[in-house]
A and B are shown apart, each in its own frame.
Chain A
Amino acid sequence: GQQLNQSPQSMFIQEGEDVSMNCTSSSIFNTWLWYKQEPGEGPVLLIALYKAGELTSNGRLTAQFGITRKDSFLNISASIPSDVGIYFCARGSNYKLTFGKGTLLTVNP
């Protein structure tokens, strides 16, 4: 199938801590993306990855395209309260995005 397994489902951390979440697929894909969604808004694109092994940063966020092309990881360093939200991984294929179920991140100030 084309399921995406995203973990963890939720995280509760203290401000300043680093965060790591990941996404795995049963199939190989050429595009991985990470989005963040806040209440009442649409998802916002954070990082896009196109090559196996690729490591890309966007400020305090770093994402990696797994070498097997079946997984991806997102790390957030030195978390701050505004990092709160739901983080989604997505893979692109046939002009569509397939999303994971999301990781709900709560940051305690």
Chain B
Amino acid sequence: KAGVTQTPRYLIKTRGQQVTLSCSPISGHRSVSWYQQTPGQGLQFLFEYFSETQRNKGNFPGRFSGRQFSNSRSEMNVSTLELGDSALYLCASSGGTSVYEQYFGPGTRLTVT
């Protein structure tokens, strides 16, 4: 089975721009989660989707949004980028007996200049 794929792998944006990141879960997995990883804050939960419904959202400003499509693929969007948004954005999917057994993609490295 193919793993979680994320595109693009690397991205450089300028302050004030917006960005959309994409995630394709493992085939058959219906839950998709997003995390932000930075050296200072570590891994922080952004949101989780199941069957196109957001079931939980982390403590991030409204500039961070996401959605899930009927084929379980997911996107996250960050508007009005700030320097502090530079991070590794990780997508994870789960589909077995536990939503917590999450399988991560390689991440998208976003640099905001």
Chain A interface (Cβ < 8 Å from any Cβ of B): 31, 33, 35, 40-45, 48, 50, 88, 90, 92, 94-102
Contacts and interface: CB of A to CB of B under 8 A. Distances in A.
Interface of B: 4, 31, 33, 35, 42-45, 48, 50, 55-56, 58, 90, 92, 98-107
Nearest to B9: A40
Main secondary structure of the interface of B (DSSP, over half): strand
Given A31-B98, A48-B98, A92-B99, 16 more contacts: A31-B100, A42-B90, A42-B104, A42-B105, A42-B106, A43-B90, A43-B104, A45-B101, A90-B100, A92-B98, A94-B56, A95-B56, A96-B58, A97-B45, A97-B102, A100-B42
B42 A102 contact: yes
Contacts of B105: 42
Contacts of A90: 43, 100
Nearest to A43: B104
Nearest to B48: A95
Contacts of A96: 33, 45, 48, 56, 58
Contacts of B50: 95
B101 A33 contact: yes
Contacts of B90: 42-43
Contacts of A99: 42-44
Contact of B103 (A41, A45, A98): A45
Nearest to A33: B100
Given A50-B98, A98-B45, A44 B104 contact: yes
Given A48-B101, A96-B33, A97-B33, A43 B56 contact: no
Nearest to B6: A42
A2 B44 CA distance: 12
Contact of A42 (B31, B55, B107): B107
Nearest to B99: A95
